[in-house]
Homo-oligomer: A and B are copies of this chain.
């Protein structure tokens, strides 16, 4: 079982990262039948305002601890084989990927459920904060996340 958690200021290339994680750790393995992934990407419009860029701040020691905890929690709830969790911090531009969650399991129900759980847990528990710099010149902290259930 391989888990990788990474918080980075560098640009995130999610599909390359998934392919690399798989190649590096379990290429050709025949135990996983299901891979579910989620990528969150920066939009340039929020609450009707054009966003020029975003600053993503975090609480490094707690981020690390909390992300590790939610991965352990997911692994205790579902029979996961591998988990990949990556998050950008620093200056983010529209169309930049911000977050990547990928899980590998034997069957699809566990993969789908765990991927969604990890994403919701990350959004609600991990200490990240987004500040939007608007095209208008103003800036503002995002007050809360959009709901994860439609």
Contact = CB atoms under 8 A, between A and B. Distances in A.
Interface residues of A, number: 44
Contacts of A147: 109
Given A19-B16, A108-B148, A43 B32 contact: yes
How many monomers of this chain does the complex have? 2
Contact of A30 (B28, B45, B111, B112): B45
Contacts of A15: 15-16, 18-19, 22
Nearest to A46: B33
Contacts of A30: 42-45, 94-95
B34 A36 contact: no
28 contacts: A14-B35, A15-B19, A15-B22, A27-B95, A28-B95, A29-B95, A30-B43, A30-B44, A30-B45, A30-B95, A32-B41, A33-B41, A33-B43, A34-B39, A34-B40, A34-B41, A36-B115, A37-B37, A38-B108, A38-B111, A38-B112, A40-B108, A78-B150, A107-B146, A107-B150, A108-B119, A112-B115, A112-B119
